[in-house]
Amino acid sequence: MPEATAKARTPIARLALVWGIGGFAITAALAGGMNLAAQGLARHDTRAPVTYDAGKFVLNDKANQGIATGGVIVTQAGLRVQSDRMLVSFTDVGSLEIQRITATGSVVVTRGDERASGDNAIYDLERRIITMAGNVALRRGSDTLNGGRLVIDLDSGISTVDGSASGGSAAAPGAPSGRGRVTGTFNVPQRDKQN
């Protein structure tokens, strides 16, 4: 393979686009991933208390886990996670300290005007990262991103959308072989033309 052809297939540039309202910065990699510096989902206090609302909650002290089912809703400082089922992993050193929440079935994460949805999610409170996989959609107002996997880094404020659920290079249905794809729509401000 000629060297010029090999270089053309590697990520050689990144597209930077800034949304004026809300300071929403976007970086799209040609390799099929997209990063977002979001003010909503990514700016969150993981040390705030966590509240639960569920049809049923089973606590297993020996395994340091709890299982919530039946339209589960978890809230924390304006962040809302809802799903069909959640597994809560914790430590018990005098008081319960939540380490990780694993949500499955119709997962929706919202904060302000941002909404992320997917088949399942892991909220790692220690690492301050939310990872969603399977039919992921990220919405802010009428702007959208769709992919296979979404990683929200609550420390850096960057969200990354990959085309495949594993973050690798599996092809999405209808996509060219060897690459998952990120799709979306961003609105462009309309200016009145003056004659």
Residue whose structure tokens are 């966590």:
50
Identify the pLDDT of residue 195: 56
Q: Is the pLDDT of residue 5 over 60?
A: no
| Residue 182 near residue 34 (C-beta atoms within 8 A) | yes
* Long-range pairs for 77-82: beta carbons < 8 A, 24 or more residues apart: 77/44, 77/45, 77/48, 78/44, 78/111, 78/112, 79/41, 79/44, 79/109, 79/110, 79/111, 80/108, 80/109, 80/110, 80/111, 81/107, 81/108, 81/109, 81/121, 81/123, 82/106, 82/107, 82/108
Average pLDDT over residues 23-42: 37
What is the tally of structural domains in the chain? 1
Identify the pLDDT of residue 26: 29
Least confident span in 7-11, 138-142, 159-163, 165-169: 7-11
- 49 in a structural domain: yes
pLDDT tens digit sequence for 63-105: 999 999 999 999 998 899 999 999 999 998 888 889 999 999 9
Identify the pLDDT of residue 167: 52
Identify the pLDDT of residue 192: 73
**Domain around 93:** 3-185
- 138 in a structural domain: yes
- 165 in a structural domain: yes
Domain of 10, CATH number, reads 2.60.450.10
Q: Is the pLDDT of residue 181 over 70?
A: yes
H-helix or E-strand spanning residue 8: helix 3-9
Q: What is the pTM of this model?
A: 0.69
- 194 in a structural domain: no
